[in-house]
């Protein structure tokens, strides 16, 4: 049987991806998606080592509240240290990270008309005893943030007793339903930046991650 050339091209151009489809349907249904093992443990280790090396080299800065016009460091709100990633200067670990993220973004743009044009990501390190109080990621008057994305880079033996869970405050029919997720390595949580308030509970052991935003411009 002959396949029309046009049809063949379409098949080559676009391949349905079950993992991405699951993410999309979860986002539509629940405003968030949790993917365990989005990154495998080898990838997590490479990213963790890169994070720790840059942290030891003193490249991180105390995270601030608000955007550039409204900079204010408030220890009572968040206690993490961050380092923004520059895709153009990515090392091998970060290259691998961006390749995976870009594949997802391409798929979202092809299938969901989300119009993601830019992205921003930073490493984050929460020292023992720190947290990030309940907030909305667009409170920093950044309405361009569409999707928030957090990737956890902790050790394989991360235990619930270590705390540091991400709590998403979902609202259903006027009732608030908090949902907690532990920062297990390789796990990625994606959620609607403009809809879901969330917080990071106090950590009892250093907590490592990459956080970022997919933006409309
Ligand atoms: O690390 C997390 O689980 C969430 C971090 C967060 O909410 C943020 O950086 O805005
Ligand atoms: Fe946040």
**pLDDT at position 75, please?**
66
ipTM of the complex: 0.99
pLDDT at 70 over 60: no
- Does residue 141 belong to any structural domain of this protein? yes
Phi, psi of 94 (to 5 degrees): -70, -30
Question: What is the spatial distance between Cα 129 and Cα 148, in angstroms, rounded to a whole number?
Answer: 24
- Does residue 17 belong to any structural domain of this protein? no
CATH of residue 56 = 2.60.120.620
Whether 211 lines ligand 1, by a CB cut-off of 6 Å, is yes
Residue whose CA is at the smallest distance from ligand 1 atom 3: 166
Task: Residue 107: give the domain boundaries.
Answer: 24-215
Domain count, the chain: 1
Whether 137 lines ligand 1, by a CB cut-off of 6 Å, is yes
- With tokens 């204010």, the residue in question is 72
Task: Report the pLDDT averaged over residues 148-168.
Answer: 98
- Does residue 171 belong to any structural domain of this protein? yes
Residue whose CA is at the smallest distance from ligand 1 atom 9: 211
- Does residue 78 belong to any structural domain of this protein? yes
Å from CA of 191 to ligand 2 middle: 10
Residues 6+ away with beta carbon under 8 Å from 85: 94, 97, 98, 121, 122, 123, 210, 212
Handedness of CA 93, 198, 204, 67 (dihedral sign): positive
- Does residue 82 belong to any structural domain of this protein? yes
**pLDDT at position 143, please?**
83
pLDDT tens, position by position, 41-59: 999 999 999 999 999 999 9
pLDDT band at 2 (very low <50, low <70, confident <90, very high): low
The model carries a pTM of: 0.91
Q: Which residue from 189, 207, 208, 211 has its CB within 8 A of the most atoms of ligand 1, so it is best to mutate?
A: 211
- Does residue 198 belong to any structural domain of this protein? yes
Whether 132 lines ligand 1, by a CB cut-off of 6 Å, is yes
**pLDDT at position 62, please?**
86
Q: 81-84 and 118-126 as β-strands: parallel, antiparallel, unpaired?
A: antiparallel
Q: Which residue from 180, 200, 210, 213 has its CB within 8 A of the most atoms of ligand 1, so it is best to mutate?
A: 200
pLDDT tens, position by position, 102-131: 999 999 999 988 889 999 999 999 999 999
**CA 3 to each of CA 15, 16, 139: distance values in angstroms, whole numbers, following the listed order:** 17, 19, 52
Residues 6+ away with beta carbon under 8 Å from 115: 109, 216
Ligand closest in space to the Cα of 136: 2
- Does residue 55 belong to any structural domain of this protein? yes
Q: Helix H segments across 57-201?
A: 92-112
- Does residue 197 belong to any structural domain of this protein? yes
Å from CA of 208 to ligand 2 middle: 14
pLDDT at 35 over 80: yes
């Amino acid at each position: 049987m002959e396949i029309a050339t046009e049809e063949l091209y379409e098949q080559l151009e676009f391949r349905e991806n079950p993992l991405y489809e699951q993410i999309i349907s979860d986002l539509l249904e629940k405003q968030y998606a949790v993917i365990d093992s989005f990154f495998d443990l080898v990838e997590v280790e490479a990213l963790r080592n890169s994070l720790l090396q840059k942290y030891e080299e003193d490249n991180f800065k105390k995270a601030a509240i608000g955007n550039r016009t409204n900079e204010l460091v408030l220890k009572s709100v968040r206690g993490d240290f961050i380092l923004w990633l520059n895709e153009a200067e990515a090392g091998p670990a970060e290259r691998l990270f961006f390749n995976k993220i870009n594949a997802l973004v391409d798929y979202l743009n092809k299938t969901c008309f989300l119009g993601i044009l830019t992205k921003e990501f930073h490493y984050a390190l929460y020292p023992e005893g720190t947290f990030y109080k309940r907030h909305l990621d667009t409170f920093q008057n950044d309405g361009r943030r569409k999707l928030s994305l957090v990737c956890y880079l902790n050790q394989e033996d991360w235990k619930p007793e270590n705390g540091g869970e991400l709590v998403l405050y979902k609202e259903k029919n006027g009732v608030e339903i908090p949902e907690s997720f532990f920062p297990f390595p390789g796990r990625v949580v994606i959620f609607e930046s403009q809809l879901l308030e969330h917080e990071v509970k106090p950590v009892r052991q250093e907590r490592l991650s990459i956080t970022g935003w997919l933006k409309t411009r």
